Chains A and B, each alone.
Chain A
Amino acid sequence: MRPWTDPVGLYRPGTSLVHRSPVWLRFGMLTALGVALVVLRGPWTSLAVLAGTVVLAAVARLPLRPTLRGLAPVALTAVLAGAYQAWARGWPLGVEVAADLMALVLAATVVTATTPTDVLLDLLARAVRPLRHVGLDPETFALAVALMLRAIPALGEMFTQVGDAARARGLERSARALLVPFAVRTVGRARLTGEALAARGIGD
């Protein structure tokens, strides 16, 4: 079985300027960046923002190889989306779309890689506390986000196992042999996880 690499954005302890900054500032800047990328126009602005997030990632001392490996699928998506926009509406918009997407994902990676999940849960639970009045439990919301973070490597591992099983039976080219067991296993894992969370009293 091929090893599943560390998911991009996994928390890495450190003492960099970004690690030491207040967690609310990191999330505030990420939110502001998202808004700015929607409001600001032009390829050069987007490229400048992307360059800024690359500098931020360097300041946070994100390890180069795992980060590049983890971001490769996003980069591919950005290139494809950018190429389509360049073909349909001209190269400036193509560059802007691709750079915006990469800048946002890289900035989000910097934030999650410098913030322990426990702190992230506290922040999320505090942020959605006002929504208690409409029936949303802050701890449950925060837990759902944490589960999503854990689900990414778990699903990757499961997809690798399903792929190996399909190859062992000579079915590596069959989409059905990959997707059907993957979907069934994903649902099965979700049920088991729900049972395990209930057993830990989480959500009671």
Chain B
Amino acid sequence: MIELEAAGVGVEVAGPDGLLSTRTLLEPLTCTITERRVAVVGANGSGKSTLARMVNGLRRATTGRVRTCGLDVATHGAAVRARVGFVFTDPDAQLVMPTAIEDVALSLRRTVKDAAEREARATAALARIGLAEHARTPVHALSGGQKQLLALAGVLACEPLVLVCDEPTTLLDLHWRRVVLDLLDTVDAQVVHVTHDLEAAGRADRVLVIDAGRLVFDGDPTQAVARYRDLMAAR
């Protein structure tokens, strides 16, 4: 469960005259997210990634409070990140080990101390997403879709309670987009999916529409997608 209480983000930026002013990335927002599948849609720079990053403390709320899995993100950041998985748009930034199995094993180092068990669980995580035969493949030799699946495997191996995906299909072709979306459908965790993909948003139980740092719609996917289309058409 994710609870936002007047949670917003502003950053100080220096103007041409050198004076600092506050720029609002996300206006104070209050809502409680309990649905299993939630999508967040909005234009580029609208603040949807800022919202996603607030969920696990990658971006600190400068006003209000964020609670994830019952924990205050500001005071229990490490405990929250142990419960919240995060998948980025570009898997290359997320994959840090030389081979696929080693990258998944890295995610498990914090919780699984025995090396043999770590390898067994990493192997199982790769098999679950269909990358078992690429366990020893160098990460840089994988395709973009395989890399994104591997990034997901690394996160899912830790069995998060909440999975936040920040545009995980943006860089993928149609085939890999479908594979990733189908995989997300099977995940046990609550999924918060930031996306430009309206078909993916349509699969959600609830959709938040963000525009210019404000929540402008919150509810049914069909109405949310219509609202988002209207917003884009009005530009």
Closest B residue, CB atoms, query A151? B96
Given contacts A10-B138, A157-B140, A193-B93, contact A199 B88 (CB under 8 A): yes
Given contacts A116-B102, A153-B138, contact A200 B154 (CB under 8 A): yes
B77 at the interface (CB under 8 A from A): yes
- Is the pair B110, A202 in contact by a Cβ cutoff of 8 Å? yes
Within 8 Å by CB of A11, from B78, B93, B98, B141, lies B98
B94 at the interface (CB under 8 A from A): yes
Within 8 Å by CB of A154, from B82, B85, B92, B136, lies B92
- Is the pair A121, B109 in contact by a Cβ cutoff of 8 Å? yes
- Is the pair B90, A204 in contact by a Cβ cutoff of 8 Å? no
Binds B, one of A50-58, A83-91, A127-135, A142-150: A142-150
Q: How far is the CB of A192 from chain B (nearest CB, A)?
A: 4
B139 at the interface (CB under 8 A from A): yes
> Number of contact residues on A: which range applies?
20 to 34
- Is the pair B96, A10 in contact by a Cβ cutoff of 8 Å? no
In the assembled complex, the Cα of A122 lies from the Cα of B158 at a distance in Å of 19
- Is the pair A199, B96 in contact by a Cβ cutoff of 8 Å? no
Given contacts A146-B106, A199-B56, A201-B78, contact A119 B98 (CB under 8 A): no
In the assembled complex, the Cα of A193 lies from the Cα of B118 at a distance in Å of 23
Closest B residue, CB atoms, query A200? B107
Given contacts A193-B96, A201-B82, contact A118 B115 (CB under 8 A): yes
- Is the pair A195, B136 in contact by a Cβ cutoff of 8 Å? no
- Is the pair B90, A10 in contact by a Cβ cutoff of 8 Å? no
Show 29 residue pairs from A and B whose CB-CB distance is below 8 angstroms, ordered by the A residue: A6-B138, A11-B99, A117-B97, A117-B98, A117-B102, A118-B102, A118-B115, A122-B115, A139-B109, A143-B106, A146-B96, A150-B95, A150-B139, A157-B140, A189-B93, A192-B90, A192-B93, A193-B94, A198-B58, A199-B58, A199-B85, A199-B86, A200-B81, A200-B86, A200-B154, A201-B82, A201-B158, A202-B109, A204-B81
Interface residues of A (CB under 8 A from B): 4, 6-7, 10-13, 116-119, 121-122, 139, 143, 146-147, 149-150, 153-154, 157, 189, 192-193, 195-202, 204
The 9 closest A-B pairs by CB, nearest first: A192-B93, A204-B78, A199-B86, A201-B81, A196-B94, A117-B102, A153-B140, A118-B105, A196-B93
Besides A11-B102, A117-B102, A204-B81, 12 more A-B contacts (Cβ < 8 Å) are A4-B140, A6-B138, A11-B136, A117-B98, A117-B99, A147-B96, A149-B98, A153-B140, A154-B140, A192-B93, A200-B155, A201-B110
